[in-house]
A and B are shown apart, each in its own frame.
Chain A
Amino acid sequence: MKHAIKLTAAAFAFAAALMAPSALAQKAQPGEADFRALYKELIEINTTASVGSCTAAAEAMKARLVAAGYPASDLHMIVPPNNPREGNLIAVLPGADTSLKAILLLAHIDVVEANRADWVRDPFKLTEEDGTFYARGAEDDKAQAAIFTDQMVRFKRDGYKPKRTIKLALTCGEEGGFPLNGVSYILEHNRDLIKAAFALNEGAAGQIDSRTGKYVYNGVQAGEKIYQDFELEVTNPGGHSSRPVADNAIYRLADALRKVEGYKFPVEHNTATLGYFARMADLNADKAQAADMRAFAKNPVESDVAERLSKDTTLNATLRTTCVATQLSGGHAPNALPQRATANINCRIFPGHGAAEIQKQLETAVGDPAVKFTMKGLSGPPFPPPPLTPDILGPIEKVSQQLFPGIPVIPQMATGATDGSFLNAAGIPTYGVSGIFEDDERTNAHGLNESVPVKSLLEGREFLYRLTRLYAGGK
């Protein structure tokens, strides 16, 4: 996911969360070996924008569906003609009741870059170590891509006849490295293929307390902040580095970045975040912070309370728009004064604001007209959060109680963008849910040594399998 985040904090420990012995811990689920092989195969196909190929990964998943018995007419490789490495796969399992709209299972198969030299283990080999899977994409988002593909295989093999049509969409370009975004490409060129009543997607997970290992809550994402990158650029005539001059592109950019670092966007709220603060307060072992959360839920304004909550990076991301420098480049030779220096500022915009407005605020904070701001990529229109109706929430709570008895389900607004932003804007309400419980401090998606607990992955597989069947009905 392009952003991530389950709203969590290390301090949270669900007082009543017991050991949460998952209901399936006792017996191995059917086809686990096949699932592990599929997951490994998908992980080990490099799908980074630099050297990888989503098309290769999509073809590999398609081959598994063909082997399971899907007819060619229900399998669609969608490869943009000018971007042959950016292939997407759509698979359809037709429902018995054609009056019902389909359910869409969405996962992206591209991954963030990973530099072998920086990782402890090869990021493109699946390593199982001490109950943990390590690899780039182990969590984000090949876990869900593998789980969804595996269940499509099982549905077909088991002769399952859903009432609702089930569609699987494995897409490329979610992480932003590739030129195209698969979901928006499909919406533009093959919209009918992914039309659905609603979609299940990445964007939420179960939360494990990092100290105790206890399950805290099962998150459901409904709505998210808007993702927007800005490029900051300073240019300069340059010259020979043996004769430095006062005006230097790198120093000017560094100064601008310090201003961005120091700038804080105002505190905001909406009903989703207020609900989050109110419910999460009950799970917070840090009594002082819990009190602050309750206080903010009652009176959501700039205050010492909000200030204290902002110290927690997760809560801070729920309280306001955030912008952070993520990339840097400058200069062309070690012995020449830089002619150009640039930085990428990644913003997660609180719902209700446009990117242009945020750019203005950053420009004012930097206060140097020599620093040029450019909006990067598409900036979609803001959209309202998808409604968390009982039809949606009910099955999630039911399966969650089956597998994780006593663990509450908590709705969330994600602090970054998933492909749900495109689908929601296109009228397909999209919910993030996985049933995969993680310790955020260890998963480190997008970062070094990305990992997922093996147990959690298998639980997520069971959770999503049951959930899809519950939504789709039939036998």
Chain B
Amino acid sequence: MQSTHLLAASLCVLAGACATQPDTAAQSAAARAGEPEFRALYKELLEINTTLSVGSCTRAAEAMKAHLVTAGYPQSDLHIIADPKRPQDGNLVAVLPGTDASLKPIMLLAHIDVVEANRADWVRDPFKLTEEGGYFYARGAADDKAMAAIFTDSMVRFKRDGYAPRRGLKLVLTCGEESPNTFNGVKYLIANHRELIDAAFALNEGGGGRLDGKTGKYLFNGIQAGEKLYQDFTLEITNPGGHSSRPAPDNAIYRLSAALEKVSKMDFPIEFNDATRGYFAAMGAITGGAEGADMKAAPEGDPAVIARLRQNPGNNSILHTTCVATQLSGGHAPNALPQRAAANVNCRIFPGHAPEEIRKQIETAIGDPGVKVSFQAEPENPGPPPKLTPDIMKPIEQLTESMFPGVPVVPAMAAGGTDGRFLTPAGIPTYGVSGIFTDGETTFAHGLNERLPIKGLMEGREFLHRLTQAYAGGK
């Protein structure tokens, strides 16, 4: 079905006969204006090292603030915020007030810190923007300085163009997204500046378009609404131990083994939410065939259908909470009975369940009070996933159809890991959307030689600029 649409779209372009598109074409041209300035801003942002080890988010935030000052934002609408204990890990909040004070603003959220990158391991300098073969290469080229640059560029242009949105806009550039165990900018802002960042909802990383790496065909535009909650549990059993020449019936390693056997048989109930229902419906259509039919039928819950879908680990992972043993340790000497045996069980919790609930279920499944089940790290506050209401979905669908005719919008629930997991439970529903299409395999976010297709970046810039205006209204 989508190939038919794509074909039609190509014909439309080839024939130059896109009678219904002039308005769109004008919008598109407007949304793409000022590309050289955008490229310069993107380059500037990428080349400021914002790694935890040696970089400074504060410098990057100051640089972005300077663009906004130049564009005409008053100082009172610009806030550099850093935890006094972490002066190099600053965040920037910029406000463009709306004309209708009764409407809550929209947050444009992007993080400006990046994962570490070792020059020696990379082909090119990770902190120099390199343009090569239709790609931009740099650490952060995709994650997440693409959206940070796009949002900042939009804010600059809104001010310059005298755009007066009905809803206010808040740009929030944050630090520490990649190092939540050390600190996290969004958590800090929620705790200390909740009013300043208050918004009806937030647009964030986590979504994106998917294209076929071989054919270049655009497959779907993914919208992230909610994510599974990451939680590690420690299973631990202790024992007085003793000499291994005289084995006792009670052995820490055997008891842990028995516990792991129970964990391996745990089967969490099948669940659906807006995002996964939408995902199965849309991906079912894209996938086609018997598997596609199963995906479309999934939310009806036929056990035979579910059982078939679960053969695929990818499908299985979005059907329910999963837990799996990932690490193991025990004993202190080959010739001594073990005094301690422990395992790490990694869970991806379906939205809406508290880690404590899962912990209790693991405990019950094991059924051995000698095996202690504890949180490996302090659990995060889970919440229900953000609702994919028509108010949110319609503008995305209309704009996707306008820019990428025939390409479906596919809601998705991520396996975990964006700042949405903090903002959504804090009362600001957060959606991942970018309109940047990649093949999903050769972007190498977090890895070596991170890169982004230039065409995708420019499309994303147009997409997000227009989407923000569609949500915000006004002129």
The chain A residues found within 8 Å of chain B, CB to CB, are 2-5, 112-113, 115, 118, 175-177, 225, 227, 229, 239-245, 248, 250-251, 253-255, 257-258, 261, 313-314, 316-317, 322-338, 341, 343-344, 346, 348, 376, 414-416, 444-448
Contact = CB atoms under 8 A, between A and B. Distances in A.
Contacts of A240: 415
Contacts of A415: 245-246
Nearest 6 pairs of A and B residues by beta carbon: A416-B245, A328-B330, A330-B328, A327-B331, A331-B327, A3-B245
Given A175-B335, A227-B335, A254-B257, A313 B328 contact: no
B333 interface: yes
Given A229-B334, A242-B348, A258-B257, A329 B328 contact: yes
Interface stretch (B93-101, B209-217, B338-346, B366-374): B338-346
Contacts of B240: 444, 447-448
Interface stretch (B29-37, B72-80, B155-163, B311-319): B311-319
Sorting the interface of chain B by its residue count into under 10, 10 to 19, 20 to 34 or 35 or more gives 35 or more
Given A118-B339, A242-B228, A328-B328, A257 B254 contact: yes
Contacts of A333: 326-327
B364 to A, nearest CB: 19
Contacts of A314: 246
Nearest to B262: A254
A326 B230 contact: no
Contact of B243 (A3, A118, A336): A3
A338 B327 contact: yes
Contact of A338 (B228, B323, B326, B338): B326
A115 B415 CA distance: 38
Contacts of B340: 118
A312 B324 CA distance: 37
A334 B376 contact: yes
Given A250-B328, A257-B253, A341-B328, A334 B334 contact: no
Given A225-B245, A446-B243, A258 B328 contact: no
B313 A346 contact: no
B474 interface: no
A335 B253 contact: no
Contact of B337 (A113, A326, A338, A341): A326
Contacts of B264: 248, 251, 254
B258 interface: yes
B232 interface: yes
Contacts of B379: none
A240 B230 CA distance: 13
Contacts of B327: 250, 330-334, 338
Contacts of A329: 328-330
A254 B245 contact: no
Contact of B261 (A258, A338, A348, A414): A258
Nearest to B346: A241
Interface in B181-200: none
B242 A447 contact: yes
Contact of B341 (A328, A337, A444): A328
Given A4-B245, A314-B246, A448 B339 contact: yes
B13 interface: no
B264 to A, nearest CB: 4
B416 A322 contact: no
B346 A334 contact: yes
B151 to A, nearest CB: 28
Contacts of B313: 239, 243-245
23 contacts: A112-B335, A176-B334, A229-B334, A229-B335, A241-B324, A242-B317, A243-B313, A250-B327, A253-B257, A254-B257, A254-B260, A254-B261, A317-B245, A325-B331, A327-B253, A327-B331, A329-B329, A331-B327, A331-B328, A334-B327, A376-B334, A446-B335, A448-B339
B247 interface: yes
Contact of B325 (A2, A250, A257, A346): A250
Interface string B235-259: 0000011111111110101101110
A313 B344 contact: no
A453 to B, nearest CB: 18
A326 B242 CA distance: 10
A143 to B, nearest CB: 16
Nearest to B234: A334
Given A257-B253, A324-B251, A446-B242, 19 more contacts: A5-B245, A175-B335, A176-B333, A242-B415, A244-B322, A250-B328, A251-B264, A255-B257, A257-B254, A313-B248, A316-B246, A330-B329, A444-B241, A446-B241, A446-B243, A446-B333, A446-B335, A447-B339, A448-B240
B324 A258 contact: no
Contacts of A255: 257, 261
B15 to A, nearest CB: 44
A336 B325 CA distance: 9
Interface string B18-59: 000000000000000000000000000000000000000000
Contact of A3 (B331, B335, B343): B335
Nearest to A256: B257
Interface in B278-331: 313-314, 316-317, 322-331
A327 B261 contact: no
